[in-house]
Amino acid sequence: MDKLTKIKNELQTIYNNITGGISDKKANFSPRMKESRHHFWQSLKERKEIVAITLLSIVLLALIMIVAIPRTKASIITKETNSLVGRNYQESNHVELIPYNKIEKAIVNNDSITVAIIDQHDENYDVLESVLNDEEKAVKFDGTVYLYPLVNEKDRVRSFFKIKDGITLIHFEDQKETARKVLSKKKDIEKNTFDYFKSMSMGKPAMTADELANEKLKEDQEAKGLTPDGEPKKTGEVIDELKDVII
């Protein structure tokens, strides 16, 4: 009986040790699970924040590339234009350079404007520069000479305004082209450049001083009822039978 009791007690002790160990393991395992899950969600949250920051950085970088870089490029080219071309007209009171990529804006913002689209590599550019800086010749024209140098966008501007070679003067009225003149001969540029600007700014075709004077004389004679030769215009003779008709 004592042996049976002893065996029973030993078996009970073994059982208690086994079940107690399992309980201890369960007790220890539960906090580990909680801790593991906590770390998992915390890591996921941190990853979401990293992903969000990364995406935001990409968007900001894209905006900088879309907005800032073109502006920076335009600013650099404008400075380059002023350095290469603008400095040659610093003493002139009637020449104004249109900034890079702003020629369309200049045309839209002015009801009447004559633009000279110039290529500083053109064989006659130096002649034009000399003429525009000649104050004695400039007195013929009291307006503003707008220059647009083809520094960086030759193909686009040439295509848009249908320009081939030479120095091109184009006059616009309410954004519509009304007159055009290509300057390709040295003597023509030296003698007539300001006359062309003057006549085009008056809404006429490009004319030399003599042509403009003849046009003015013709208009004055027309207003006075005279022929181009200065003779009175002939009127039709009155039919005798109509003289006594009472109206």
Residue 211 identity: E
The residue ranges of every structural domain in the chain are 1-72, 89-223
Query: What is the residue-averaged pLDDT of the chain?
Result: 77
For the ranges 77-91, 175-189, 209-223, the lowest mean pLDDT is seen at 77-91
Task: Specify the range with the lowest mean pLDDT, choosing from 45-59, 78-92, 156-170.
Answer: 78-92
For residue 91, pLDDT beyond 60? yes
Task: Give the percent of the chain with pLDDT over 70.
Answer: 60
How confident is the model over 87-103, as a mean pLDDT?
A: 81
- Terminal-residue alpha carbon distance, the chain: 163
Angle at 124 between CA 134 and CA 126, to 5 degrees: 45
Q: Is 234 left (phi over 0), alpha (psi -120 to 50) or beta?
A: beta
Residue 182, pLDDT above cutoff 90:
yes
Q: Which residue matches tokens 């610093």?
A: 90
Residues 6+ apart with CB under 8 A from 209: 140, 192, 195
Q: CATH top-level class for 89-223?
A: alpha beta
The pLDDT tens digits of the residues spanning 201-247 come to 998 999 999 998 888 888 878 777 766 666 676 655 555 655 565 55
Distance CA 42, CA 32 (A): 15
Whether 180 has a pLDDT exceeding 50, the answer reads yes
- How many angstroms separate the most distant Cα atoms in the chain? 172
- Residue 68 scores a pLDDT above 60: no
Residue spans of beta strands (DSSP E) within 7-105: 95-97
Whether the per-residue pLDDT at 184 is higher than 60: the answer is yes
What average pLDDT does this structure show over 109-127?
Answer: 91
